[in-house]
Amino acid sequence: MALLTKYSLWLLPLVLLLGVGYAFFLYYKNNNIIFEKKHRIIMASLRGLAMSLLAFLLLGPMLKLIVKQTDHPVILLAIDNSESLRSNKDSAYYINEYPKAVQQLATELGNKYEIKTFVIGDEARMLGNDEALNLDFSEKSTNLASIFDITNRLYANQNIGAMVLLTDGIYNTGASPYYKASEANFPVYTVGLGNTELTTDLFFSDVVHNKQAFKGNMFPVELKINANRLSGKQAELTVMEGDKEILHKNISFSGNRYFETVKLSLEAQSTGIHHYRADLTELDGEVTHKNNHVHFYVEVIESKDKIAIVYNSPHPDVAALNEALALTDNYDVEVSPASEFKGNPSDYSLIVLHQLPSKANTASNLISQIRKSGTSALYIIGTQTDLNNFNTLNTGLTIGQSKNLTNNAMPLYNENFTSFTFSEEAQRMLPKYPPIKTIFGTYKTGVSANVFMYQKISGVETKYPLVVFNQQNGAKTGIITGTGFWQWKLYNYLYAENHTAFNEIIDKIALYLAAKGDKSQFRVRHADVFAENAPVEFSAELFNDSYELINEPDIKMVIKGSGDTTYEAQFSKQNKGYYLNMGELPVGSYSWTATTQVGGKRFEKSGRFSIQEIMLETANLIADHDLLKSISSATKGKFFTRNEMQKVAKEIKANDNIKSISSYKKKYTMLLNSPWYLAAIVLLLGIEWFLRKWNGGY
């Protein structure tokens, strides 16, 4: 421990003199105070010392402490809660006995270490301190890599002693867990669950089909059929659309491992969502019959939307946009420099203008035609953009710039944005994206502007828009106020080994802008098909007679499923719109009706959507213990079978490398904050006061 001061310690004699002087004048120069000499000396000393201590605080004294910190090891208990475990032949064990064995393991480890428990499904989730472990094996997919992502995020640079990973090794979403585990700096002890033997089963391993098709076109469907240990037996394959049989086929199995791909070519006869069901005969001896049946949905639409990407000069953003939009069958995408674009804007649903108007090319004729035709436009602002020209276009955003400077801005999702839904996966990915280059200046948005993302600059959340939409006279406008978002695509692959979130961002922006304008005063939006493990979400907008957004009236929703199943709910009010989250609904087709009333007018909207079953967990039931052994080997852990689970705690406790880590850190604290210092001053003044009273003073 050391004492430091803001000012020189040479001032200390002055501090002491100040305290002594105050006491001298109080007790020796004050003729109204009459005490015995002995008492006067004691009380003057007490008062002088107290005042000196108070005056010493004027020097800004600070204590420097060397503090010992002990970081105790944490054991991560990661438990697979996916459906594949319950679908196996020993499902009774996992439902009845397995949870008790896991609880016993947690108790044994908890006697010596701090335990953090996670359950793994589509994403790993940490249980709260008061949350009970409830293993129901209901997760529809398994992302084993996510456990390493979340622990790295939550416990970076902390003393992680080990991870105990209890799983069958089957993963069907996310990156490879082996490569994620190899980056861990702690041992992973794996417990192999499930069945590694080839079980008797007939199942659909996959259904490959277009999510969308165009009316009048033929579209392909591939049914991938597997049969294990069914040599010499036969089954029937039936494909139905509603009550109409499309295909009936007999299949004979040869060998213990049989595989066949059945190809279909179906015609998209009418618009809307078409529900198809494929069934295989349920044979005796199968480990499960659930994977003998599969449902799939195809949305039939009228025609493709045409999108043009027109750029001032070549840029990686243009390629990233083109690649993301080309993945969707909804669009025909054309890419062209501004000097070579000859298309008629009225033929397009959306035109993307990358850094146009620019200082080298105002593109005034093209922009004028776009505005006259009412075609939606997406402006991407960059250092080449002519801001003075852009600010005259009445897009709902103006940018004032006095110097040619830029900011590095990260995306910040606006939680009050309701014009379209945005998946949780993409929201989780946004904070991981690198900053893009935006214009340094003043941003002013119009009253009708709707911000999708804000700019986060140097860790500070601002109200500068990064992605903003506007609508005037029926024409939609979008603005991305920066360039360099092509890097988001690279980072998306770095963290998730896919481009899903990035593609969703681009697709949602394009879909919103390219959608034909709805002139009605009451509008409801939703996806046509939801996965069974995804929440069913709706957004709505309500306009008065002047087409101004309002959200004072309530909106009621009624959803009808199969039979007499009915769900009733009310939209919540967010910003200037409405939002409704119905949570997860059972697989099937649904119809909905939303109603509201403005003044004396009653408005009603209706529609349909479907919940699609996820078959990932039943497509493969053969446990992958080799993967778990590789993970343990790469992290210097150890693999155990299900029957050896009781040995895990002993193995961890015997590992001498799992121990507390002590460190010494400097800690600075103001002496003013010390309760002992202040208590000493109060004590000195208190004793002096008591002696004064005892001797008849005031």
- Give the count of alpha carbons within 13 A of 573, CB side only: 9
For residue 570, give Cα distances in angstroms to 364, 529, 539, 595: 47, 21, 12, 10
Identify the band that residue 10 occupies on the pLDDT scale cut at 50, 70 and 90.
confident
- pLDDT for position 661: 78
DSSP assignment of 72-118 equals: --EEEEEEE-BHHHHTSTTHHHHHHTHHHHHHHHHHHHHTTSEEEEE
Calpha distance 90→100 (Å, rounded): 16
- Closest by CA position to 661, among listed 5, 35, 157, 129: 157
Calpha distance 203→280 (Å, rounded): 8
pTM: 0.62
% of residues, the chain, pLDDT over 70? 97
Residue 11 pLDDT exceeds 70: yes
Calpha distance 238→252 (Å, rounded): 14
Identify the band that residue 517 occupies on the pLDDT scale cut at 50, 70 and 90.
low
Calpha distance 382→378 (Å, rounded): 13
Calpha distance 143→497 (Å, rounded): 12
For residue 409, give Cα distances in angstroms to 488, 489, 645: 12, 16, 49
- pLDDT for position 64: 83
Identify the band that residue 15 occupies on the pLDDT scale cut at 50, 70 and 90.
confident
Burial class (CB in 10 A: 0-12, 13-18, 19+), 514: buried
Q: What is the pLDDT of residues 553-567, one digit of tens each?
A: 999 999 999 888 999
- pLDDT for position 533: 85
What's the whole-number mean pLDDT along residues 397-408? 91
Burial class (CB in 10 A: 0-12, 13-18, 19+), 432: middle
All domains of the chain, ordered by start, with CATH?
Answer: 2-67+666-694 (no CATH), 73-197+622-659 (3.40.50.410), 201-301 (2.60.40.10), 305-514 (3.40.50.880), 522-611 (2.60.40.10)
Residue 30 pLDDT exceeds 70: no
- pLDDT, the chain, mean: 89
Identify the band that residue 512 occupies on the pLDDT scale cut at 50, 70 and 90.
confident
Q: What is the pLDDT of residues 303-362, one digit of tens each?
A: 778 999 999 999 999 999 999 998 877 788 999 999 999 999 999 999 999 999 999 999
Calpha distance 141→626 (Å, rounded): 20
Identify the band that residue 593 occupies on the pLDDT scale cut at 50, 70 and 90.
very high
